[in-house]
Structure 1
Amino acid sequence: MNQFQMATYQTDPKIFEEKAELLKVLGHPVRLCIVKNLMERKSANVTQIQNCLNAPQSTISQHLAKLRTAGIIEGRREGTEIHYSVVDEKVKRLIEVLFS
């Protein structure tokens, strides 16, 4: 291995921690399903997500909060509803690869 190749592998451990945390958030089947569903629909409110997953609204809300905190999704208010969408482009590419 030459000096250039060795330098490529010397990376800040913080980057690995951040990537591992992202994978933990996406590693739950319900959250993975939510992200995949939001990518297919472009956006959805809690009721639409709940109907798709057949899970209680409180469960969906908890998972949405984790995805929001991780910066994977955003919510925008439309009247009395909040519509969620995936905003992290790296996550979009990752999901596309996972389900290709």
Structure 2
Amino acid sequence: MQSMTYSTHPKIFEEKAELLKVLGHPVRLCIVKNLIEQKSANVTQIQNCLKTPQSTISQHLAKLRTAGIIEGRREGTEVHYSVVDEKVKRLIEALFS
């Protein structure tokens, strides 16, 4: 059996591992999955779904934003979040199929 070799730069593996770390927390995974299903939601809607304090949700949303997985769109006094990373959408779809 021939072994596979990867000519990919190690930086790619570091980036993918970092993405998995961000998604590896149950609350963040739940947020992303729900945002994909609902297309978009504000913090209150996310909080009601998860039964988690708003401050906790906000901390997790900040990590997801920093990682480039989600973005917020201001509508009046509310911010509506949605998943913008197509790779993450495919990954979550595969994970939950």
TM-score range normalised by the length of the shorter chain: over 0.9
Unaligned runs of 5+ in 1: none
| Alignment partner of 1:70 out of 67, 70, 75 | 67
% identical aligned pairs: 88
Partner of 2:51 in structure 1? 54
Equivalent residues in 2 for 1:7-86 (5 A)? 9-86=6-83
| Alignment partner of 2:95 out of 72, 95, 98 | 98
Unaligned runs of 5+ in 2: none
| TM-score, L = length of structure 2 | 0.95
Distance 1:14 1:28 in 2: 23
| TM-score, L = length of structure 1 | 0.93
- Determine which structure has the larger helix proportion and give its number: 1
Distance 1:92 1:67 in 2: 13
**TM-align CA RMSD:** 1.2
Which has the higher Rg, Structure 1 or Structure 2? 1
Post-superposition Cα deviations, 1:25-77, rounded to whole Å, max 9, x if no partner, equal 00000000000000010000000000000000000000000000000000000
